[in-house]
Amino acid sequence: MQTKVFKASQLPAAAAALVAGELVSFPTETVYGLGADATNEAAVKKVYQAKGRPSDNPLIVHVADVATVKKYVSNFPETAAKLTAAFWPGSLTLILPLKPGAFSKTVTGGLSTAAFRNPNNQVTLDLIKQVGHPIVGPSANTSGKPSPTLASHVLHDLSGKIAGVVDDGPTGVGLESTVLDLSTAAPAILRPGAVTQAQIESVIGPIATNHHQVKADEVPKAPGMKYKHYAPNAQVYITQAKDFEAAVNWAQKKQQPFGLLATDAVLAQFTSLPVNYRFSLGDSIVSASQHLFDGLRHYDQLPEVKLILAQAFPAEGLGVAYMNRLGKSAGQVHFKADR
């Protein structure tokens, strides 16, 4: 199969492919998604095949408006009304209880709930409207690899396996949406994202977080939490900005190429290293979040790089989501200055 690159002006062709049961990757403000018509079970099955995704890991249902969600759920709580008013379209995914049979088991992974999201990308909102049904969309990467923040990332992983990708340039946030479980009595964040706990609490009051590291034999709330994630070929070391000099000295002794993933201020200290081994995260937590996955993918193109020193940020605000993804990509391995 030849994978087409659709421009925003070619949306009708992209919508026609989705209606015909094909897979089309779509842009969002977080990462690119791998789209299929959520009401077409055969199409949704292809999503798991193309990604190599375990079949018990349910998919997010992307909708163009709140009214569509109400058609499928058995209960739309007051908290959901307040949160969608405050944050939709945007990077907040809500888990809600479904009417029996609302979606196939392929969409829900056999759960009685589904994850709903209204992405803040006009091209994709138009695409969903043209399709006339919600579209499922996991991140459009090969399972286990960093999520795609550029159409070229999607093509790298899925070219030849999907009908097309709608190219809308780089995504804005760069990290996947916050997943909030509203299907239980106590709302809980299952995955941190750009909509922060403090922002959610300012609308609905205190909530819990439930995005700890899930052990292999544990049943996680979000099935995706138990799988290996964002793993580049090299070993990532989470490194504090102040420890980079010590970390570079340590890495140099290993006599092996290594890569830096850091802010411009940190990189400026190491201009003697090859430019290809100095990937910039910009100058803030916002730019670092935008470029983290691109940086991890950059080093996957350089097989000689076996070690990446990646910059830590304070785990507050957007930094909670950034450190969650960086932690997973590193298998929670930190560079310790006294090693």
Residues that bind ligand TXA (CB under 6 A): 28, 30-31, 33, 57-60, 93, 95, 108, 111, 113-115, 117, 119, 137-139, 176-177, 179, 190-191, 221-225
Residues 198, 181: contact at Cβ < 8 Å? no
Interaction between residue 324 and Mg ion (CB under 5 A) = no
| Residue 28, binding choice from Mg ion, ligand TXA, none, Cβ under 5 to 8 Å by partner class | ligand TXA
Determine how β-strand 178-181 pairs with β-strand 113-117.
unpaired
| Residue 133, binding choice from ligand TXA, Mg ion, none, Cβ under 5 to 8 Å by partner class | none
Residues 253, 168: contact at Cβ < 8 Å? no
Which of positions 134-153 make contact with Mg ion (CB under 5 A)?
Answer: 139
Which of positions 11-30 make contact with Mg ion (CB under 5 A)?
Answer: none
Q: Which is nearer to ligand TXA, 40 or 93 (CB)?
A: 93
Q: Which is nearer to Mg ion, 145 or 291 (CB)?
A: 145
Scanning the structure block, which residue is given the tokens 């205190």?
Answer: 206
Q: Which is nearer to ligand TXA, 80 or 260 (CB)?
A: 80
Q: Which helix or strand (DSSP H or E) is residue 15 part of?
A: helix 11-19
Determine whether 53 is exposed, middle or buried from the number of CB atoms within 10 Å of its CB (0-12, 13-18, 19+). buried
| Residue 236, binding choice from Mg ion, ligand TXA, none, Cβ under 5 to 8 Å by partner class | none
CA dihedral 275, 278, 282, 284 (to 10 degrees): -160
CA dihedral 295, 300, 301, 304 (to 10 degrees): 110
| Residue 60, binding choice from Mg ion, ligand TXA, none, Cβ under 5 to 8 Å by partner class | ligand TXA
Q: Which is nearer to ligand TXA, 31 or 288 (CB)?
A: 31
Q: Which helix or strand (DSSP H or E) is residue 235 part of?
A: strand 235-239
Of 274, 332, 262, 328, nearest in space to 302 by CA: 274
d(CA 146, CA 143): 8
State the CB neighbour count (10 A cutoff) for residue 166: 28
Supply φ then ψ for residue 126, to 5 degrees: -65, -40
| Residue 115, binding choice from ligand TXA, Mg ion, none, Cβ under 5 to 8 Å by partner class | ligand TXA
The least distance separating Mg ion from the CB of residue 225, rounded to whole angstroms, comes to: 11
| Residue 162, binding choice from ligand TXA, Mg ion, none, Cβ under 5 to 8 Å by partner class | none
Q: Which is nearer to Mg ion, 139 or 263 (CB)?
A: 139
The least distance separating Mg ion from the CB of residue 18, rounded to whole angstroms, comes to: 19
**Binding residues for Mg ion, per CB under 5 A?**
139
